[in-house]
């Protein structure tokens, strides 16, 4: 991953270029025929982009971790809950779980819990565009291209522009 950087001190990196970098990191592992599973919504967009860049014939899986979050009782159901779609057999399969930002590790944990409801994969790797630290669980990205430090109350959000391109924005709470 690139050195730690402060996104408020300069412009944010090109998310499309980061997707290409992530594809380059994953490409050597294609001999294992991994399946991609994107976490809604940013991870789903990145997984679809990776599928295109890696020229993978198989559909990607899409996962919504809303029901698997450990804070579900506190927050309730997210109003934009989407259905999880896993169009392949998970049992014995090498999977690459894709998300936009890795932070506390709780979303990743929830996604892994849900994947095991579909079967026991041979392995699960994690691919992210941004790792902002702040882990609360022992979770680490297998593939990542950007370590970023954010200030108090800042959030890094991946969006899809009108032209379909992915782009970062910094939000302040």
- pLDDT on residue 168: 97
User: The CATH number of the domain where 106 resides is what?
Assistant: 3.40.50.2020
Domain region containing 10: 2-172
What b-and-e string marks burial along 104-141, b requiring 16 or more CB atoms within 10 Å of the CB?
Answer: ebbbbbbbbebbeebeebeebbbbbbbbbeeeeeebeb
CB 152 within 8 A of CB 132: no
- pLDDT on residue 2: 45
How many domains in the chain? Answer: 1
Q: How far is CA 130 from the centre of its chain?
A: 9
Q: pTM score, two decimals? A: 0.90
- pLDDT on residue 6: 53
Q: pLDDT, tens digit, for every residue of 122-152?
A: 999 999 999 999 999 999 999 999 999 998 8
């Amino acid at each position: 991953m690139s050195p730690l950087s402060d996104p408020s001190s300069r412009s944010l990196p090109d998310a499309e270029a980061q997707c290409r970098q992530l594809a380059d990191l994953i490409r050597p592992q294609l001999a294992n025929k991994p399946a991609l599973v994107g976490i809604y919504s940013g991870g789903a967009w990145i997984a679809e982009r990776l599928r295109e860049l890696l020229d993978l014939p198989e559909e990607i899986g899409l996962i919504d971790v809303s029901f698997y979050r450990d804070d579900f009782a506190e927050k309730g159901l997210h109003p934009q809950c989407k259905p999880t779609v896993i169009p392949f057999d998970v049992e014995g399969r090498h999977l690459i779980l894709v998300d936009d930002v890795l932070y506390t590790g709780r979303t990743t944990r929830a996604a892994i819990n849900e994947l095991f409801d579909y079967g026991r994969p041979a392995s699960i790797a994690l691919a992210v565009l941004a790792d902002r630290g702040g882990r609360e669980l022992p979770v680490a990205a297998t593939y990542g291209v950007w370590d970023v430090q954010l200030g108090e109350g800042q959030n890094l959000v991946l969006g899809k522009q009108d032209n379909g391109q992915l782009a970062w924005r910094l939000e302040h709470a």
